[in-house]
């Protein structure tokens, strides 16, 4: 079972690194959104610093969504999904391996790039650190929630739009607590840990519900 998990994880990481993989796309998209906002708002550093965490979080959410529709669809189209069904490992392990691989090539780079993008929205050093922490803890929740939508829309040809409509409402709690934790780090009345712990809890819940849900959706597929 561990062998199957590792094999699939390695395969997906390789695919992301090859030509046409989604590896850097999410990161570039993230950068584009964050650079667009200051152009739209004008050079008001105070305003930018105040809404900076929110901008970064929305950008991260959209960047997570952008490649998510291919998560299972690519395997569905070339028949690999039929191969994945033949494993000793249950479908949940398959989903877990694919989602972790996806997070490693999208969510993790986003979190690590957050300090550099923080410059563009005039974040203070503490706020940058808080952004990294909240994105590290919060993006898994986004990926796991998105995986359920990706599994449900895997056999649809233009599933990307439906996927976004399906999963965005479920991402709102993560967004709320992610932004409020990042804001709490730079001041405010609530301590940082309160929203941060809720964010952690959301990620853990999403990991369980997302894995089981996506596996169920894939099983009933066709």
Partner 1 sequence: MQGLRLSVNNLACERGERRIFEGVSFTLKPGEALVITGRNGAGKSSLLDILAGRLHPAGGAILLDDAGERTLSECLHYVGHRDALKAALTAEENLTFARDFLGNPALKPREALDAVGLAHAARLPVAYLSAGQRRRVALARLLVAHRPLWLLDEPTSALDTASQETLRLILEGHRDSGGMIAASTHSPLFLKDAKEIRIERLVPPPSAGEGGERSEPGEGASSIEHGPSPDPRSREGHPLPNSSRVFPTWTSRKSGSGTPDPDGGEGKTGEVS
CA dihedral 112, 114, 117, 119 (to 10 degrees): -110
Q: Which residues in 3-22 contact partner 1 (CB under 8 A)?
A: 3-4, 6-8, 10-11, 14-15, 18-21
x/- binding map, residues 18-57, to partner 1, per CB under 8 A? xxxx------------------------------------
Q: If binding is defined by CB under 8 A, does position 222 make contact with partner 1?
A: yes
Which residue, 42 or 222, has its beta carbon nearer to partner 1? 222
How far is Cα 30 from Cα 14, in angstroms, rounded to an integer? 22
Return the residues of window 78-97 that contact partner 1 according to CB under 8 A. 78-80, 82-88
Give, as one character, the DSSP assignment of residue 36. Answer: H
CA 214 to each of CA 7, 23, 55, 146, 164: distance values in angstroms, whole numbers, following the listed order: 20, 22, 29, 9, 15
* Residue 135 CA neighbour count, 13 Å, CB half: 32
Residues in the chain: 222
- Minimum CB–partner distance for residue 3 and partner 1 (Å): 5
Closer CB to partner 1, 124 or 155, in the complex: 155
Residues that bind partner 1 (CB under 8 A): 3-4, 6-8, 10-11, 14-15, 18-21, 77-80, 82-88, 222
């Amino acid at each position: 079972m561990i062998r199957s998990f590792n094999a699939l994880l390695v395969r997906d990481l390789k695919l992301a690194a090859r030509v046409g993989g989604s590896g850097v796309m999410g990161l570039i998209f993230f950068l584009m959104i964050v650079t667009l906002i200051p152009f739209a708002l004008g050079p008001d550093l105070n305003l930018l610093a105040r809404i900076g965490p929110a901008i970064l979080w929305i950008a991260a959410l959209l960047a997570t969504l952008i490649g998510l529709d291919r998560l299972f669809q690519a395997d569905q189209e070339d028949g690999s999904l039929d191969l994945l069904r033949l494993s000793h490992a249950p479908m949940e392990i398959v989903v877990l391996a694919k989602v972790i691989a996806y997070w490693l090539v999208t969510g993790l780079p986003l979190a690590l790039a957050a300090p550099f993008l923080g410059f563009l929205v005039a974040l203070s050093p503490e706020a940058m650190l808080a952004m990294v922490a909240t994105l590290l803890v919060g993006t898994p929740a986004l990926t796991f929630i998105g995986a359920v939508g990706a599994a449900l829309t895997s056999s649809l040809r233009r599933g990307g739009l439906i996927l976004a409509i399906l999963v965005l409402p479920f991402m709102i709690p993560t967004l709320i607590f992610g932004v409020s934790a990042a804001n709490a780090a730079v001041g405010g009345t609530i301590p940082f840990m309160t929203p941060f712990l809720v964010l952690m809890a959301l990620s853990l819940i999403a990991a369980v519900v997302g894995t089981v849900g996506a596996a169920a959706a894939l099983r009933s597929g066709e």
